[in-house]
Amino acid sequence: MTSPLTPGIAAGRLSADEVARNFSDLHAPLDAHEALVAADRCYFCHDAPCITACPTDIDIPLFIRQIMTGTPEAAARTILEQNILGGMCARVCPTETLCEEACVREAAEGKPVEIGRLQRFATDRLMDKGEHPFTRAASTGKRVAVVGAGPAGLACAHRLAMHGHDVVIYEARAKPGGLNEFGIAAYKSTDDFAAREVDWLLQIGGITVEYDRALGDAITLDALKAEFDAVFLGVGLGGVNALGASGENRDGVADAVAFIADLRQATDLTTLPVGRDVVVIGGGMTAVDAAVQSKLLGAENVTIVYRRGRDRMSASRYEQDLAAAKGVRILCNLQPVAVHGNGAATEIELEYTADSGTGLRGTGETIRLKADQVFKAIGQTLTVDGGLRLEGRKIAVTGAGRTSDPKVWAGGDCTPGEDLTVVAVAEGRDAAEDIHKTLTS
């Protein structure tokens, strides 16, 4: 089925079997024997650089040794004590630029220990048993509001609940998970894992989730501060930056984040429309995820366009190579000038860029690409701040997520720093510890 305004965008370009194969698990899980073989490669370094490289400070050599001794459930507890969303992080973390890049085996042989897959093996074994390894402390009588059920909010809520506080999560959407549920490529999180992980996390007790409650709409920060002893903001980034190119409002131009969210929530991917000639503007993980999934849905030509050199792309080299392996072309040193078409997009005009050391500038030389679908993946913006002090376009924080308001903490993508799931988890966890210390001192 095609739209009369955008005839190139259609659903069902591939058969159901082809789509199922394309969106199968990117990395098949290790079986027990494979896990033992992979674990055997670990040197169990005393001053393990992989721990330092992990934003959540997981004791990686310890959990790998626990796998080797046949106690994967103990390994999972080691992981989850530091990172309660360790199952998802094992799937989506750029381990190739974090723990695995720091691995001594990587330095010596160019092949690191498969830390991410081993982490998944351990956490999956525990979750498959339906067990929750942590229990709540005695009630403190304190109540904390958490705004946003994404990685930062969930990590914060879980740690607060463990300490005996009662937590209410206010989530703007109808489902929890944040970017884990709505913003990660489908082939990285199969079998509805994000939702299952949230259900498992909530087994700690003491956490209530209220859906369709957006900050600044259904609730206000002032009201939360009046009702609760503390507030944590894990609101993410709700807005999408504009291209700044003429014609960007034409049919066929859309936000990459919205496209990925629609894809993740689709019950039948063969009904999701995609163009024949897709162009994605941006150089981060969202751009790669949108481009690769467009190709997997049956787009004939998919191109990522980035305004700087390839070495400046925030998507890891592994992700860039994955895109290339799936047939995605990456063009660098180009910026959008205009989207052309009669009502709907048919072409995108791009200008070559140069960086002389004083900033990026257009050279005046342009090219045009066929494009019936253009996705914007050039960053998101904060849509609510509650009157808090900002740093650039994000909520300013000091220490473990303290904002300019003494009753409000924040973490995740809405605060400065890397926009990674594992970083959001660390920030939510650390803010919870600071909140707990503040409320009980």
At residue 37, φ and ψ (nearest 5 deg) are: -65, -45
pLDDT at position 7, please?
66
Nearest to 148 by CA among 183, 123, 120: 183
pTM of the model: 0.95
Q: How many CB atoms lie within 10 A of CB 167?
A: 25
17 found inside a domain: no
Sort 433 into a burial class: Cβ within 10 Å, 0-12 / 13-18 / 19+. middle
Give the domain extent around 88: 32-128
Do 274 and 330 reside in the same domain of the chain? Answer: yes
Q: How many CB atoms lie within 10 A of CB 196?
A: 13
pLDDT averaged over 10-residue windows placed end to end, the chain, 441 residues: 65 96 95 98 95 98 98 98 98 95 96 98 96 95 98 98 98 96 95 97 98 91 97 92 94 96 96 97 97 98 97 95 98 98 96 90 97 95 87 94 98 95 98 98 91
Do 220 and 96 reside in the same domain of the chain? Answer: no
Sort 354 into a burial class: Cβ within 10 Å, 0-12 / 13-18 / 19+. exposed
26 found inside a domain: no
pLDDT at position 223, please?
96
Q: How many CA atoms lie within 13 A of 195 on its CB side?
A: 9
Do 357 and 265 reside in the same domain of the chain? Answer: yes
| CATH assignment of the domain containing 67 | 1.10.1060.10
Do 316 and 394 reside in the same domain of the chain? Answer: no
Q: What distances in angstroms separate CA 69 from CA 39, 160, 311, 383, one per listed residue? A: 10, 32, 41, 49
- Give the CA dihedral 390, 395, 399, 402, nearest 10 degrees: 100
pLDDT at position 111, please?
97
Do 288 and 415 reside in the same domain of the chain? Answer: no
pLDDT at position 408, please?
98
Total of domains in the chain:
3
Do 117 and 214 reside in the same domain of the chain? Answer: no
Do 226 and 250 reside in the same domain of the chain? Answer: no
In the block, tokens 């530091």 appear at 82
- According to DSSP, residue 377 is labeled -
Do 267 and 213 reside in the same domain of the chain? Answer: no
Do 230 and 268 reside in the same domain of the chain? Answer: no
- Domain-terminating residue out of 335, 357, 376: 376
Pinpoint the alpha helices (H) of 243-389: 256-265, 285-297, 317-325
11 found inside a domain: no
Token pair recorded at residue 390: 């900002």
Tally of helices (H runs) and strands (E runs) in the chain = 17, 17
